[in-house]
Amino acid sequence: MTAWLVRRLLWSMLVLVIVSGVTFTIFFAIPANPAELIAGKYASKQTIASIEKRLGLDQPKPVQFVRFLGRAAIGDWGFSYTSQQQVREAIGQAFPKTLSLTFGAVVVWLLLGIPIGVISALKPRSLWDRLAMIFALIGISAPAYWLGLVFLKVFSDMLGWFPLGDYAEIAQGGWGAWAHHLALPWVTLALLYAGWYARMTRAEVMHVSSMDYVRTARAKGLSPSTVVWKHVLRNALLPIVTMLGMDVAYLFGGAVLTETVFGIPGIGGLAWRAIRQRDLPMVMGTVLFAAIFIVVANLLVDIVYTFLDPRIKVEA
């Protein structure tokens, strides 16, 4: 078991190294010299050369890559080429916003998706089920940024219920302003996910309901609600929890489109700006930051499943 864990951990780290390699290689191809970006338009050749030297840009690319990995491993993610801010600091400032967006969206989509899925599964082919599945289909098919614009038009511009974008710090405006500003982004992001959760919940509940032990429970004379709550949901929701873990990990890396439309200065926006400005350290930082969550979530799911389900064999 320990051997398996260690091996699995090492693989995860290797995946992160490859992620860095892929990102680095993509930006390898950029013709622009980052030193020129930093020095500005009118810098002399000497200034550019000294900046190149300071940042190690005069070294061969593989050397630069290995140096980056070495520094990243001990927590030094470097400085932004454009704002001179520490990458870690910039991520640290952006992450609470992304966290706020994700947290609220998760609550909304669980409250929408799971009840819709359960009711649909209990009354398959009913009118409710049809309507619910149409709702789910629209949710998974709508472009996030467009949905955001439609909501802004209807609920902010026409009805005036919510502010037109922007992010309100809890420290400044309190919890009320924070939630008020985030309500539309939460709903936008949540609708994209609620559809998947409704469909998944429906499928799982229907699958579990058809199993023998549920039939036994019914045959024992248990009330329908006891069967649903105690026997069906407990098992049906297990895969949903896994999915939730993966989705939350994914969203911690930033929701570029939602953040862009609503002007939320989160990780997604940070990464997007960095890519546009060819700010390599910031790109590496944000991509690695997002990848770490995904890799760790994968690892956790594997470990939890291995512990929970003795049928999964551990190959050491």
Q: Interface residues with other proteins (CB under 8 A)?
A: 11, 14-16, 18-19, 21-23, 26-27, 29-30, 137-138, 140-147, 149-150, 152-153, 157, 189, 192-193, 196, 200, 243, 250-251, 253-258, 260, 271-272, 275-276, 278, 283, 286-287, 290-291, 294-295, 298
How many Å apart are CA 263 and CA 59, to the nearest integer? 38
Q: Which is nearer to other proteins, 29 or 219 (CB)?
A: 29
Spell out a b/e string for 184-208, using b for 16 or more CB atoms within 10 Å of the CB, else e.
bbbbbbbbbbbbbbbbbbbebbbeb
Q: Which is nearer to other proteins, 35 or 144 (CB)?
A: 144
Q: Which is nearer to other proteins, 116 or 274 (CB)?
A: 274
The nearest distance, CB 118 to other proteins, in angstroms, is 19
The nearest distance, CB 137 to other proteins, in angstroms, is 6
How many Å apart are CA 39 and CA 30, to the nearest integer? 17
Q: Which is nearer to other proteins, 174 or 263 (CB)?
A: 263
CA 277 to chain centre: 23
The nearest distance, CB 265 to other proteins, in angstroms, is 16
The nearest distance, CB 258 to other proteins, in angstroms, is 6
Q: Which is nearer to other proteins, 167 or 217 (CB)?
A: 167
The nearest distance, CB 22 to other proteins, in angstroms, is 6
Q: Which is nearer to other proteins, 173 or 239 (CB)?
A: 239
The nearest distance, CB 140 to other proteins, in angstroms, is 6
The nearest distance, CB 88 to other proteins, in angstroms, is 18
Q: Which is nearer to other proteins, 29 or 316 (CB)?
A: 29
Could you write out the three-class secondary structure of the chain?
CHHHHHHHHHHHHHHHHHHHHHHHHHHHCCCCCHHHHHHCCCCCHHHHHHHHHHHCCCCCHHHHHHHHHHHHHCCCCCECCCCCCEHHHHHHHHHHHHHHHHHHHHHHHHHHHHHHHHHHHHCCCCHHHHHHHHHHHHHHHCCHHHHHHHHHHHHHHHCCCCCCCCCCCHHHHHHHHHHHHHHHHHHHHHHHHHHHHHHHHHHHHHHHHCCHHHHHHHHCCCCHHHHHHHHHHHHHHHHHHHHHHHHHHHHHCCCHHHHHHHCCCCHHHHHHHHHHCCCHHHHHHHHHHHHHHHHHHHHHHHHHHHHHCCCCCCCC
The nearest distance, CB 197 to other proteins, in angstroms, is 11
How many Å apart are CA 208 and CA 144, to the nearest integer? 32
Q: Which is nearer to other proteins, 217 or 258 (CB)?
A: 258
